[in-house]
Amino acid sequence: MTIMYMPKIEISDELYQKIQEKIKNLPEYKSADEYVAKILEKELKEKDKEVYSQEEEKKIKERLKGLGYLD
């Protein structure tokens, strides 16, 4: 038998009510859980992009040289 562990995150009642109000006008979200998960996913994806690979750095440096910004 596999036991699934579902993590739970606590938020205040006030914030939970605000989310409930918000998703009333957002039919794509079926629950507050789904909305919060989506927002966090988006935020983390954005943060991931702040880190860049050496390949990307090399590529942009070459382009910026070509455009005259770097020697």
Partner 1 sequence: MIIILGFDGLEYEYVKKFGCRNLMQKHFGKTDLSQFSEPRTIVLWSSFLTGKNQEKRILSGDLWTFKLKKEETFFNHFKNFYVLDTPGYNYSEDHKKERDALRAFFEKKGTVENYDEVAFENHKKIKEQFFNALNSGTNFDIVMGYFGVADVVGHLSFGLEEKMKIIYNELDEITRKVQEKHPDATILIVSDHGMKKIGRFGDHSNYAFWSLNIDKNLGNPKTTDFYSMIINNFKMSS
Q: Where on the chain is the footprint of partner 1 (CB under 8 A)?
A: 46, 49-53, 56-57, 59-61, 63-64, 66-71
CB 52 within 8 A of CB 58: no
> Toward partner 1, which CB reaches closer, 24 or 49?
49
Shortest distance, position 38 Cβ to partner 1, whole Å? 15
Q: Report the residue number, 4 or 51, with the smaller CB distance to partner 1.
A: 51
Nearer to partner 1, 18 or 42 (CB): 42
Q: How far apart are CA 70 and CA 62, in angstroms?
A: 9
CB-CB contact of 66 with 59 (8 Å): no
- Measuring CA to CA, which residue among 34, 30, 36 is closest to residue 12? 36
